Amino acid sequence: MSQPTPYFVRPTKRCLSDLGMGFPALELPLHQVEDALVAKAQQVPAEVAAGSAERIRAIKDRIWFKVKVSSARGAVTELDHAVDHGPEVAEAGAWWWMGAAGKRQEDSSNDFYRSLTAEVTRAGRGTGSTSSEHLLPADVDIRRLEAELAVQITLSIRRVVRKVIAASIKTGRACAATFTHHRIAALVRARDGEAYLAVTAEGFIDFRLIAVILGSVPHVAHSDWLPEPQGVFGINPEPGQITYSTMVSAASQAEIMEEFSGEDLSDL
């Protein structure tokens, strides 16, 4: 099996239910939920690469691996990179999933692996094999992944906007950050005892993302921003660029500078 980088294992909704948990806030990726078994599952991809992972032999239709912490047990698999995924999985690198969890209860019909064996056997009845397809991520798991990705993009944009503003406050010049297909620039300038901020965005054709950019500055309402199609402060927008300006308070500037007080801003 090929190995993703970085390695992480997401619990499915079914697995979280087995653990007595629901989906956490979108800001928290599922592989980071506070649970000992989920934390232990993060080691499985490396164990598979090293040849030390223990396979669940009773499941015949695809390869699943055991996860053990105290009496807690789980089942982890890697999606087939060729057929088992959509673009969201590939974008996030979410190849590894824990599909079920339970408790080790030796000599009991409620033992996790015994119950799991019975479950996949019933699901595969008439096929001549077991079926663990229902343990793979379902539509709700992919929708959750999509939502997480959207939140991560939003948080990343907000942080970059504030960082280029911090760099401009510190240096007194226009500062910019470039992504693969996007660019954000900011210039803070004092005038008549007040501070003005101009932000230029390039490559952001989705106005929902523009709203995220403008909403990234603390204590500034969306209605306080003015479009500057002809440019401002010597910034002349080029084709594909959008420039907005606003007044920015001392409190807003101080909050932004505090956020990046320990970071090197010289590369912007």
Which pLDDT score, from 0 to 100, does residue 3 have?
A: 41
Return d(Cα 177, Cα 265) in angstroms, integer.
Answer: 11
Q: Are strands 175-178 and 183-191 parallel, antiparallel or unpaired?
A: antiparallel
Q: What is the pLDDT along the chain (268 residues), one digit of tens a residue?
A: 344 457 899 999 999 999 999 999 999 999 999 999 999 999 999 999 999 999 999 999 999 999 999 999 999 999 998 886 788 999 899 999 999 999 998 777 789 999 999 999 999 999 999 999 999 999 999 999 999 999 998 999 999 999 999 999 999 999 999 987 889 999 999 876 679 999 999 987 788 889 999 999 999 999 999 999 887 877 777 788 899 999 999 999 999 999 999 888 888 8
Strand 226-227 vs strand 241-247: parallel, antiparallel, or unpaired?
Answer: antiparallel
Where along the chain do the CATH 3.10.28 domains lie? 149-259
Q: Among the CATH numbers 3.40.190, 3.10.28, 3.40.50, 3.30.1560, which is that of 149-259?
A: 3.10.28
Q: What are phi and psi of 79, to 5 degrees?
A: -70, 150
How far apart CA 13 and CA 21 sit, in angstroms, is 9
pTM (2 decimals)?
A: 0.80
Report d(CA 83, CA 25) in Å as an integer.
Answer: 29
Q: What is the pLDDT of residue 251?
A: 92
pLDDT score recorded for residue 1: 39
* Owner of token pair 């995924």: 85
Instruction: Check residue 193 and give its pLDDT.
Output: 63
The first and second tokens of residue 35, run together, are 């649970």
Strand partners of residue 56: none
DSSP states along the chain: ----SS--EEEPHHHHHHTT-----TTS-GGGSS-HHHHHHTTHHHHHHHT-PPB-TT--SS--EEEEETTEEEEEEE--TTTS--HHHHHHT--EEEEEEEE--TTSTT-HHHHHHHHHHHHTTTTTS---GGGS--HHHHHHHHHHHHHHHHHHHHHHHHHHHHHHHHHSS-EEEE-SS-EEEEEEEEETTEEEEEEEEES---HHHHHHHHTTSTT--GGG-EE-TT-BTTB-PPTTEEEEEEE--HHHHHHHHHHTTTS--TT-
Q: What is the DSSP pairing of strand 9-11 with strand 96-103?
A: parallel
Max Cα distance, the chain (Å): 81
- Distances, alpha carbon 154 to alpha carbons 34, 70, 165, in Å: 24, 38, 17
Is 58 in contact with 117 (CB distance < 8 Å)?
yes
The whole-number pLDDT of residue 74 equals 98
| 209: CB partners within 8 A, 6+ apart | 153, 157
Cis ω for the linkage preceding 6 (within 30 of 0):
yes
